[in-house]
Amino acid sequence: MVEDQAQAYMSNCLRIAVESKARAMEEAAQWKRKYEFECLQNGAEEAGGLSANYRTSSSGSDFNSVPDVAIVQGHHSHEQHLGCSEGPGISSCDIFKNGMCSSESNNLDGRGLLYQKVLFNLAWGCDGIKDQHAKHDIVSCERGDIRTDIRRSKQIILEWKSAPRSVAIFMKPNSPHVQALCKEMVKWLKEDKGMNVFLEPDVRKELLDESNTYTFVQTWKTGEDIKTLHCKVDLVITLGGDGTVLWAASKFKGPVPPVVSFAMGSLGFMTPFKSDCFKECLRNVIKGPWPITLRHRLCCRIVRAADCQESTNCRKILEDDFHLVLNEVSIDRGMSSFLTFLECYSDNSFVTYVQGDGLIISTTSGSTAYSLAAGGSMVHPQVPGILFTPICPHSLSFRPLILPEYVTLRIQVPLHSRGQAWASFDGKDRQILQAGDALECNMSEWPVPTMCEVESTCDFLHSVQECLHWNMKKIHCADNPEGQL
């Protein structure tokens, strides 16, 4: 009995001693944390970067008030590496403390001491641009954890602030069926909708030669006029096939008004609307809101060797001397019987040599056109990327690539090349590339907004299935009268 009491007394003393020691250690750790936080706060305030972004708490000097996310003026060595000497970015400037981290124990080291997570900064290569555009729209690094936001808004919707008033119609030439529909549409747009109608100069002339009821139709005369067409029209209508969409887009060397495309061609991958119900379609689109697909374009320039002879930096490129392609720019061997030999660079990094029939640099919209025929993947038009697809490469291992949308590609015909190459822009405007000439392209800031029939992905899948018969095979089965799978 006495022995039991003595043992209980001893273990009680031991427990009290252990608890006192734990309390003392906890208090010491608290003081240490406070000291470290104050040191860091003082340092940050001296650097001038963190103070504006502090999460405030009830007491200003409370070491429980910690910075959330700070946008810092670059003092990080990595920024220099990215060519962004003072560029903005996202910084993780967090001091971990009780209750801040999802799991408190994560911040305790083996000896039960709290540690500070090492600070870091995320910056985006921005070639010296110092504005907020260099921040990434979906990446954050709150509390030192890098995360990407889930993009919940999938579909872009166009909502008119007031009803569109002017429309430009582009139509496929030499088709009586298309011409007949164009006349009917022009009358309806004017009489029922009270809209100003623009037609291409020769189409307008043909209409006026036929009847003077179309004197209200407007047009453009010079190349200068067409440069400002986007300021005069709210909506573009195309009547034809994919070629007519490409044709209409090529007329806009800057911003493009929303495009409604009626299928009156053979394939019609980018022409979702049916011409026989054009009034209902246009009524809906004009009323809005309406889903659109932003189809990115590539801005392509030819850099001539002759223009660069004086100095390596000399570029006698005129302001207007560029092509905006909706599908692709292709470089091929033309009539030459030699293999093309092209040197390819991405942002000045060597990519590869192309030896074969040529190379296609395609947008994602163009992925279902020439690039597909050359073995490239089909890519949804809203995926940000540039397709790099060789044409009949001489090497069996030369597979197509998809590069990020922000790279600048340079395709050079080497000075020692035996033959020339030819560049075509959306299958048109073929231009010769002599030895030493290069083609440069990057993503343009001016996409083509095309109105969807249903919504972007649904329209894309519908086109893939209906126009290209993707993964459709006939099955011979009495249970499947339509014979398709």
Ligand X SMILES: NC(=O)c1ccc[n+]([C@@H]2O[C@H](COP(=O)([O-])OP(=O)(O)OC[C@H]3O[C@@H](n4cnc5c(N)ncnc54)[C@H](O)[C@@H]3O)[C@@H](O)[C@H]2O)c1
**Which residues here bind ligand ATP, judged by CB under 6 A?**
170-173, 200, 240-244, 246-247, 265-268
Q: Which of residues 295-334 bind ligand X (CB under 6 A)?
A: 327-328
Q: Does 201 bind ligand X (CB under 6 A)?
A: no
State which residue, 144 or 427, has the beta carbon closest to ligand ATP.
427
Residue 396 φ/ψ, nearest 5 degrees? -65, -25
Query: Least distance in Å: CB of 155 to ligand X?
Result: 20
- Which are the contacts of 59, defined by CB distance < 8 A and separation ≥ 6? 65
Is 320 a catalytic site residue? Answer: no
Helix extents (H) in 48-71: none
Residues in a beta bridge with 450: 259, 293
Q: Does 219 bind ligand X (CB under 6 A)?
A: no
Q: Could you report how far apart the first and last alpha carbons of the chain are, in Å?
A: 87
Q: Which of the listed partners (ligand X, ligand ATP, none) does 173 bind, with a CB threshold of 5 to 8 Å by partner kind? A: ligand ATP
Query: Least distance in Å: CB of 373 to ligand X?
Result: 3
Cβ(49)–Cβ(73) below 8 Å: yes
Query: Least distance in Å: CB of 263 to ligand ATP?
Result: 7
SS3 state of residue 90: strand
Residues 160, 392: Cα–Cα separation, whole Å:
46
Q: Which of the listed partners (ligand ATP, ligand X, none) does 327 bind, with a CB threshold of 5 to 8 Å by partner kind? A: ligand X
Looking at residue 481, the DSSP 8-state letter turns out to be T
State which residue, 219 or 271, has the beta carbon closest to ligand X.
271
- Which are the contacts of 220, defined by CB distance < 8 A and separation ≥ 6? 198, 201, 226, 229
Residues 450, 269: Cα–Cα separation, whole Å:
12
Cβ(326)–Cβ(246) below 8 Å: yes
Query: Least distance in Å: CB of 366 to ligand X?
Result: 5
Q: Does 40 bind ligand X (CB under 6 A)?
A: no
DSSP letter string over 393-444?
A: ESSTT---EEEETT--EEEE--TT-SS-EEEEETTEEEEEE-TT-EEEEEE-
Looking at residue 57, the DSSP 8-state letter turns out to be -
Q: Which of the listed partners (ligand X, ligand ATP, none) does 366 bind, with a CB threshold of 5 to 8 Å by partner kind? A: ligand X
State which residue, 214 or 341, has the beta carbon closest to ligand ATP.
214
Q: Which residue of this chain has its Cβ atom nearest to ligand X in the complex?
A: 243
Q: Does 447 bind ligand X (CB under 6 A)?
A: no
Q: Which residue of this chain has its Cβ atom nearest to ligand ATP in the complex?
A: 241
Residue with tokens 């080291």: 109
Query: Least distance in Å: CB of 378 to ligand X?
Result: 9
Length of the chain, please? 485
Comparing CA positions, the residue from 461, 452, 459 lying closest to residue 258 is 452
Q: Which of residues 270-299 bind ligand X (CB under 6 A)?
A: 270
Measured at the alpha carbon of residue 40, what is the angle toward residues 39 and 45, in degrees to the nearest 5?
105
State which residue, 94 or 242, has the beta carbon closest to ligand ATP.
242
Q: Which of the listed partners (ligand X, ligand ATP, none) does 370 bind, with a CB threshold of 5 to 8 Å by partner kind? A: ligand X
Query: Least distance in Å: CB of 168 to ligand X?
Result: 19
Residue selected from 11, 61, 98, 266 as contacting ligand X according to rule CB under 6 A: 266
Residues 294, 262: Cα–Cα separation, whole Å:
17
State which residue, 230 or 297, has the beta carbon closest to ligand X.
297
Residue with tokens 């252990």: 18
Q: Does 440 bind ligand X (CB under 6 A)?
A: no
Residues 427, 235: Cα–Cα separation, whole Å:
25
- Which of these is catalytic: 94, 234, 242, 426? 242
Total of chain residues touching ligand X, rule CB under 6 A: 18
Q: Which stretch binds ligand X (CB under 6 A): 102-110, 132-140, 205-213, 264-272?
A: 264-272
Q: Does 383 bind ligand X (CB under 6 A)?
A: no
Residues in a beta bridge with 299: 324, 442
State which residue, 33 or 172, has the beta carbon closest to ligand ATP.
172
State which residue, 49 or 400, has the beta carbon closest to ligand X.
400
Q: Which residues bind ligand X (CB under 6 A)?
A: 241-243, 246, 266-267, 269-270, 327-328, 365-366, 368-370, 373, 426-427
Q: Which residues are catalytic?
A: 242
